[in-house]
Amino acid sequence: MQKILFLFVPATRLDRVPKARDSGADKIIIDLEDAVADDQKQDVRTALRAFDATAQHSYWLRINASHTAEYHLDIACIKQLNNLAGVLLPKCQNALQVESLHHQINTPVIAMIETAVGMANIANIATSKGLWVMSFGRLDLMHELGVRLGSQASKLIFDKIRADLLIHSVANGLNPPIETIFAEFDNEAGLRACVRHWSDFGFGGQLLIHPKQITTVRQVLKMDEDELAFAQAIYQKYQETGDTVFAIDGKMVDLPLIHWANHLLKTAKN
């Protein structure tokens, strides 16, 4: 399955949308939440409506959380937009919030799990009508839990979230979950490790904050595709000949490698 890369653009910098679209990202998310100060939000909504009126491509919008006053103003703005592909709902806590939003705007919803309540309710959220995919956030959740970001404890919690998101997404026929942002956009090695990690978890893509992250993520995912192609060549040769020792592209293949290829192909199929 093709991995989907989302790139955030601050709603205060709508002039950056064309560059973001040229970056190779699959989908653009205009950020009306964290990227905009409260006293600027109304002016930014006005600018967003003007942007939408001449937009030649669809885009996603991260709105404000449903418990805020800004949320209702965001909904009113959304109803005047013609090129909106979908909405990212931050700090989602239950299915009712997703379904209420979807009912009002009739577009797909990405539910962001960023609170302890949301984390506890992933199974419930996954049943939401109108839900397209789930993702998660780090900072707000770690602050609420009192866990230091980057600690071993935080890594364990994030992996629990990843596992829960994956299990309940599959169980409810949703798209695979989307990995959260990798904030250190100058840390290429860290980003590569992050991509390998979420890819191993069966996630369907990632939220990104800088255009230069796109190339790195694509490179790591291409390595995965090359590995899969190698596994396919191994298993095809084994099925055709029955041999347990042979060469593929100058590389020796034996029975353990055949078992590896079979396992990888089954995993990719599932």
In a domain, 109, yes or no: yes
One domain, residues 60 and 126: yes
Among the listed residues 201, 198, 257, the one whose alpha carbon sits nearest the alpha carbon of residue 227: 257
Binding-site sequence positions for Mg(2+): 114, 140
Residue 126 DSSP SS3: coil
In a domain, 139, yes or no: yes
One domain, residues 115 and 143: yes
Q: Is the pLDDT of residue 267 over 90?
A: no
Binding-site sequence positions: 62, 114, 140
Q: What is the pTM of this model?
A: 0.84
In a domain, 217, yes or no: no
One domain, residues 18 and 62: yes
One domain, residues 153 and 254: no
One domain, residues 127 and 230: no
pLDDT single digits (tens) 217-243: 998 988 677 788 888 999 999 999 999
Read off the pLDDT band of 260 (50, 70, 90).
confident
One domain, residues 138 and 204: yes
Residue numbers of the domain that contains 265: 225-269
Residue 7 DSSP SS3: strand
Binding-site sequence positions for substrate: 62, 114
Q: Is the pLDDT of residue 269 over 70?
A: no
Pairing of strands 4-10, 205-208: parallel
Among the listed residues 76, 23, 20, 255, the one whose alpha carbon sits nearest the alpha carbon of residue 31: 20
Residue 29 DSSP SS3: strand
In a domain, 220, yes or no: no
